[in-house]
Amino acid sequence: MIKLEESNRIAKEHINSLSAPAQGYRLGHSEATYVEGGWYYDYDVLCELDIPKQEQEKFAGAFGFLISMKTGLVKDICHSEWVDLGLAFCKDPYGNSNAT
């Protein structure tokens, strides 16, 4: 069984194995979120350039990745899988999900 500390190590290795999205940018990941069967991490694109946030490049791709608690294997998660895992509104990514 993969515990959080081991999952964080695997996540760091996974991020380090990926190519930078563009010159002056690098990949990172969010804190782990426990979901049934594993640990989920959002991909983060971090700008290392000294430019205002509104001038930084925008990137799209996989929402994040899941590390299996059973095997330690990494799986990229697409939008529909992200919704199925119950992550769609747990961090309110599209604003206030309680609004009517």
Q: Is residue 68 part of a domain?
A: yes
pLDDT of residue 96: 44
Distance CA 17, CA 20 (A): 9
The CB-side HSE value for 63 (13 A sphere, CA atoms) comes to 14
Band the pLDDT of 100: cuts 50, 70, 90. very low
Domain count, the chain: 1
Q: Is residue 61 part of a domain?
A: yes
Select the more confidently predicted residue: 100 or 40. 40
Task: Give the end-to-end CA distance of the chain in Å, rounded to a whole number.
Answer: 41
Q: Is residue 97 part of a domain?
A: no
Q: Is residue 98 part of a domain?
A: no
Residue listed under structure tokens 């697409």:
78
- Which range of residues forms the domain containing residue 13? 4-50+57-84
Start-end of H helices in the chain: 4-17, 79-84
Taking only the tens place, the pLDDT of each residue in 15-73 is 999 999 999 999 999 999 999 889 999 999 899 999 998 888 887 767 899 999 999 99
Q: Is residue 24 part of a domain?
A: yes
The CB-side HSE value for 69 (13 A sphere, CA atoms) comes to 12
